[in-house]
Amino acid sequence: MPDIGLYAFWDIDKTKLNFSQDKYFILSRILERGTLDDILKTISFYGIKEAKKVLTSNKYLTRQAMYLAHVLLNTPIEHFSAYAAHQHD
């Protein structure tokens, strides 16, 4: 488990977070609400390949989270599932 602040998970029981099973939720939430330090630690924990897989498949990422992931993971913006949804915003 990465050494991150769990304040981004204010609305859930943090003791029930499973960093293996809940990686889609955890990566997305940290990217949207975490500090840059927490984001980098979480990406490092899961690995760039897994973080790309998880974040590009999330069609509900906020615009800001999607563009941050695009830059941090050096992934074309068109590869994000959320990109199509945000084109119409």
pLDDT at 2: 81
Are 85 and 66 in contact by the 8 Å Cβ rule? The answer is no
Q: What is the mean pLDDT of residues 55-61?
A: 95
Q: What is the mean pLDDT of residues 59-74?
A: 95
Any alpha helices (H) in the chain, and if so which ranges? 23-33, 36-46, 48-57, 63-72, 81-86
pLDDT at 88: 65
pLDDT at 5: 83
pLDDT above 90 (res 84): no
Q: What is the mean pLDDT of residues 20-25?
A: 94
Q: What is the mean pLDDT of residues 33-56?
A: 96
